[in-house]
Amino acid sequence: MNPKRLLALTRAGIMESLYFRLGIFVTLFANLIYLVLVYYLWKAIYASSGTDVVNGMTFTDTMIYLILATAIFNFLEMFVVWDMSRSIQSGKIVLDLLKPMRYRKYTFWSYTGNHVVQFFLTFVPTFIVVMIVTHGAIKFGLNIIWFLVATVFALIINYNIEMLVAPICLFTESTWGINIVKETIVLLLSGATIPLAFFPEKIRMIVQYLPFRAVYDIPLSILLGKSGSDTWDGLLKLFGLQIVWLIVLTVAGNIFWNCAVKKITVNGG
């Protein structure tokens, strides 16, 4: 596949997202308010606990973790489930299937533009504000590069989770329900709601190996130097987990999509 064609999709996505500039500023503004809420909540929680470090997380660690989790959530957010069910209802999906490119590939690359714009216009500013608020608590070194690599993996894993869930709509005619179930599970088990370090030992043992962790917890742990990511050994383990899930989910998603696409019935499309 000619990379030029793929990048053309990215460019179109960038232009489309920039057209909705206001949405980006609203998201950024909301992130800042969210930052305030998280700050006061966890400040109160840590103040009541009496110790500075709980489960290896200090107040600053927790705050950076949760705020950047929200920022990553914003920039990874895809509406594949909604888009797919809407294009099935309207019949537009037929046009997408007829395009001279695999549907999965086409969807992925048309979203990349949005990811790029969201990364620079919401994630980076949020990151800078977090740095200022915490007086530069994030160490700058190789961890930034590893964090970016892990985030790219996270993006692909997240996309594959979406693509595994979206075709379920073909069978159930339910969009809101499927989407909320997916979102709840991913946000809770990935550590975006509450850092995985706080989970009780036994539950953490299981959650550690699930794919959801690869989306939020692994990039953030690498950034903060937690979960043994400050050693080569630990770093390899985390990346290994991401790569294994990436392969498993891609293969599973491909098979499931190929089965599901045969079931599509478009009413009067």
Partner 1 sequence: MRKRGLKFYMSIYRKILIQDLKSKMSYRADFIISTIGMIMTNLSGFVTFMILFHNFPTINGWDYYHMLFLYGFSLVALTPVQCFFDNNWNLRFMVQSGDFIKYCFRPVNVFFYFMSEVFDVKGLGQLAFGIGTIVYAWIKIGIPVTPLVILKLIVFLFTASLFMIALMNFAAATCFWIKNSGYVMVIMFRFKDFAKYPSSIFEGIFKVIFTFLIPIAFIAYYPSLVILSPDNVPVLSWISPLFGLIFFYLSYKFWMLGVRKYDFTGS
Is 183 or 230 the residue whose CB approaches partner 1 more closely?
A: 183
Residues within window 144-173 making contact with partner 1, judged by CB under 8 A:
172-173
- By C-alpha distance, which of 12, 179, 31 is closest to 111? 12
SS3 117: helix
Is 122 or 143 the residue whose CB approaches partner 1 more closely?
A: 122
Residue 252 to residues 99, 163, 171, 245, Cα–Cα distance (Å): 23, 10, 17, 10
Does residue 52 bind partner 1 (CB under 8 A)?
no
**Closest separation in Å from C-beta 151 to partner 1:** 22
CB under 8 A: which stretch of 174-182, 231-239, 241-249, 250-258 binds partner 1? 174-182
Is 48 or 265 the residue whose CB approaches partner 1 more closely?
A: 48
**Closest separation in Å from C-beta 259 to partner 1:** 19
CA distance 78 to 183: 11
- By C-alpha distance, which of 178, 158, 191, 181 is closest to 75? 158
Does residue 210 bind partner 1 (CB under 8 A)?
no
Query: How many Cα atoms sit within 13 Å of 120 on the Cβ side?
Result: 9
**Closest separation in Å from C-beta 54 to partner 1:** 6
Q: Which residues pair with 258 in a beta bridge?
A: none
Does residue 55 bind partner 1 (CB under 8 A)?
yes
CB under 8 A: which stretch of 108-116, 131-139, 181-189, 221-229 binds partner 1? 181-189
CA end-to-end span of the chain: 29
CB under 8 A: which stretch of 96-104, 180-188, 230-238, 259-267 binds partner 1? 180-188
CA distance 32 to 131: 13
**Closest separation in Å from C-beta 179 to partner 1:** 8
Residues within window 60-119 making contact with partner 1, judged by CB under 8 A:
none
Does residue 49 bind partner 1 (CB under 8 A)?
yes
CA distance 238 to 160: 19
DSSP state of 197: G
**Closest separation in Å from C-beta 162 to partner 1:** 16
Binding partner 1 (rule: CB under 8 A), the pick from 30, 95, 144, 259 is: 30
CA distance 261 to 241: 30
CB under 8 A: which stretch of 8-16, 188-196, 217-225, 258-266 binds partner 1? 188-196
| Alpha helix (H) residue ranges in 77-193 | 80-90, 93-98, 103-118, 124-133, 142-165, 168-172, 176-189
Q: Look-up: residue for tokens 């053309």? A: 8
Does residue 124 bind partner 1 (CB under 8 A)?
no
Chain positions contacting partner 1, by CB under 8 A: 20, 22-23, 26-27, 30, 33-34, 36-37, 40-41, 43-45, 47-49, 54-55, 172-181, 184-185, 187-188, 193-194, 198-200
